[in-house]
Chain A
Amino acid sequence: MTRISATYFAKRLAVSLVVIWAILTVLFLLLKSMPGSIATQFLNPNLKPEDIRALKAQYGLNQPLHIQYLKWVKNYATLNFGYSMQSTEPVSALIARRLPRTVFLFGTAYLINLTIGTLAGIEFGWHRGSSRDKTGFAAGLTLYSIPPFWLAWLLLYVFAFGGFGLSVLPVGHMTPSFQSVFTSWEFFSSIFTHLLIPATTLALVGWVGNMLVMRTSMQEVLGEEYINTARAKGLSPTTVKYKHAARNALIPLATQAIVSIAFIVDGAVVIETVFSWPGMGRLLVNATLNRNFPVALAAFFMLGVLIVIARLLTDVAYTYLDPRIKFGENQ
């Protein structure tokens, strides 16, 4: 890590912490602006005023607002999210079980998007104006416009429900639901087959953002003097394309890679719901629809933290790869 200064890392870390604090504050404001109170949750006409007071005292709602706020920040900062309204399980246990599954789906899709998007962007930018570029560009924008859940249904129809005589992949979930004991081989292969359609859907929609940025950046780099120099030196087109042009065109992709993290989390929320993938996104949606707000807010918070951490990692990785990137430039 010699290529990244400690102050740079410290600044990045500080920004991340501020973002997490901002998420906490936004959540607190949302919670307080919600209509109704703890008493209306129970919908019991026999509740007496003193019962309501006791309930409020039990949940700490009789304290002044700033104390509630400080308690809220302290609890969330220590990952103490309280209890779900539908089970007696603490929310943190629920989340600890589901977070790795979301990270798995999200990470796979993210890496696929980055790889395909970069390669396609290099290709289209290098052959700018060719029919390949035009077709790829139009196709990319069209894929970008497909509602992901609808695309997932079409893929499911073809590959899982045997729409055209192919019924090879599972419909949803992470592992076969009729089986509870796995050998390690069965476990990994079943996770792989279950991952295939969700990850493909996310990748089909998600690579385009990276491609667009890489394509533009590639075009700009191709106008530079050193590309002509490299060509004049008699280097092979492949060397010029990948070693001279593409490498330098990668810088704006750093920004895009960071922005697209939030985009993939959005996609993951929808895709998890389509495929009953037992992750955070589905937890958030179900909790919101059931008005189970302790779980919904905690899931929201953890997705926010996930984005912050992924942004930090991407940022540090890019700065390590390219020391020319400075603090504040790639926001």
Chain B
Amino acid sequence: MSEETNTRDSFFERHKQRHRGTYRSLRRNWNQFTNHRLGVIGLVILVVIVLVAVLAPYIAPHPLHWQAPQTGKDCSSLDCVASSTSFPQGPRFGDPYFAPLGTNWRGNGVLTELIYGSRVALYIGFAAGVLSSLVGVPLGLISGFYGDSWIDEAIQRTVDIMYGLPFLPLVIVLVAINGITTTNIIIAIAVKSWLNNAIVIRGQTLSLKERSFIEAAQVSGASDNRIIFRHILPNVLPLAFVYLAQDAAFAILTQANLAFLGLSDFTQVSWGVMLQWVQVTGHVFDAPWWLLPPGLMITAISASFYFVGYSLEDVTNPEAQS
């Protein structure tokens, strides 16, 4: 037993020894990040939303497709349909089918839908962010590393032309043609949003390329691939995360806009789709318990991504600090 703990201790000891520098710089960056109250607030909101999404079945007051039955009278199914105009219903205390935030027009609990909607929002945010980074970061690295060559020129002109395309109209047309699924929406968003990542990473790469450690690597005979991915990439990764966070926020907002325009997967419960149903059923101005929460959640999650992103930017860019 004691031997076992000994070996484990020595393992941790060796690990600590070897990665002391990494730990120190991580802690320094973390301390710098926590100096930004805004960033910490954003991170806390994000963590809470992630927890809500993971634990959705345990904290939601009802199962996802639960519907409040007509209350107050013992109705046959036809009567129920005829009288279902009493939905949406605000929260009513003392109701046996109490829904904490009221119900929507079908009798689904708003809070339940809100909790499950966090899953779609996070999925869209992270998937679109990661996808744009996966396209934008390598292209930015290559473009910057081979600056002033035909490769750089080709990538830059492509970016120029794509910046000229109207973003939302492009997404609308792409989604309308390829079919309205969440995957297609994510792809359509990423088609346009990798541009920022590529531009910023290119700029950073251009300046890193002139630093002496890259020259040292070149002199010692490292291949271009090795220099790009082992020496430059780790240095641009923090900046890449800044833009990933911004892409995520932008993707969530775009999905909400598309849902509002009627281009969203209506079989899925997402915050944008909830708002779209408010509009379609004509309850925008008489059901605040249904209208306000999804909009507030979209604002909260996008704002927290932006908060984290801009605080990270300050950490990664020491020159921006006074």
- Which of B156, B159, B177: most chain A CB closer than 10 A? B177
Please determine whether B156 and A269 come into contact, CB atoms closer than 8 angstroms. Answer: no
Q: In the complex, what distance in Å separates the CA atom of A291 from the CA atom of B177?
A: 9
Cβ of B256 and Cβ of A147 under 8 Å apart?
Answer: yes
CB of B299 within 8 A of CB of A30, answer no
A144: nearest chain-B partner, CB-CB: B306
| CB within 8 Å of A: which B133-150 residues | none
User: For chain A residues 284-331, which have a beta carbon within 8 Å of chain B?
Assistant: 284-285, 288-289, 291, 296-297, 299-300, 303-304, 306-308, 311, 331
Given contacts A148-B257, A150-B275, contact A19 B164 (CB under 8 A): yes
Q: Which of B261, B284, B307 is most buried by chain A, counting CB atoms within 10 A of its CB?
A: B261
A147 pairs with B257, CB closer than 8 A? yes
In the assembled complex, the CB of B296 is this many whole angstroms from the nearest CB of chain A, namely: 9
In the bound complex, do residue B173 and residue A288 qualify as a contact, i.e. CB atoms below 8 Å apart?
yes
- A149 at interface (Cβ–Cβ under 8 A)? yes
Complex Cα–Cα for A285 and B173 (A): 9
Chain B residue with minimal CB distance to A259?
A: B163
A137 within 8 A of B: yes
Judge whether B168 and A145 touch: CB under 8 Å.
Answer: no
Contact A30 B174 (CB under 8 A): yes
> Which among A144, A145, A157 has the greatest number of chain B C-beta atoms within 10 A?
A145
Cross-interface CB contact of B322 among A129, A138, A273, A306, cutoff 8 Å: A129
Say yes or no: A153-B169 contact (C-beta < 8 A), given A33-B177, A145-B303: no
B295 near A146 with CB under 8 A, answer yes
Whether a CB of chain B sits under 8 angstroms from the CB of A61 is no
Q: Which residues of B are found within 8 Å of A142, using beta-carbon distances? A: 299, 303
Cα distance, A144 to B191, chains bound together (Å): 22
Are A153 and B291 within 8 A (Cβ)?
yes
Evaluate whether A270 and B261 lie within 8 angstroms (CB atoms) in the complex, with A19-B161, A157-B285, A265-B168 already known.
yes
- CB-CB under 8 A from B302, the residues of chain A are 144-145
Number of A residues near B (Cβ < 8 Å) is: 62
The residues of A that contact B164 with a CB separation of less than 8 Å are: 16, 19, 22-23, 262, 304, 307-308, 311
The reply to whether B163 and A145 contact each other, CB–CB distance below 8 Å, is: no
Q: Are B257 and A284 in contact (CB under 8 A)?
A: no
Q: Which one of A16, A144, A161, A266 lies within 8 Å of B168 (CB-CB)?
A: A266
Is B256 touching A273 in the complex (CB atoms < 8 A)?
no
Interface code B20-64, partner A: CB below 8 Å = 1, 0 otherwise? 000000000000000000100000000000000000000000000
Cβ-closest chain B residue relative to A19? B164
CB of B262 closer than 8 Å to a CB of A: yes
Q: Assess A149 versus B257: contact at CB under 8 Å? Given A141-B303, A265-B166, A270-B168.
A: yes
Query: B interface vs A, CB < 8 Å?
Result: 38, 156, 159-161, 163-170, 172-174, 176-177, 199, 249, 253, 256-257, 260-263, 272, 275, 284-285, 291, 295, 298-300, 302-303, 305-307, 310, 320, 322
23 inter-chain pairs at a CB distance below 8 angstroms, sorted by A residue, are A30-B173, A128-B322, A137-B38, A145-B302, A146-B295, A147-B253, A147-B256, A147-B298, A149-B275, A220-B320, A262-B164, A262-B166, A262-B167, A265-B168, A273-B260, A281-B169, A299-B169, A303-B169, A307-B165, A311-B164, A331-B156, A331-B159, A331-B160
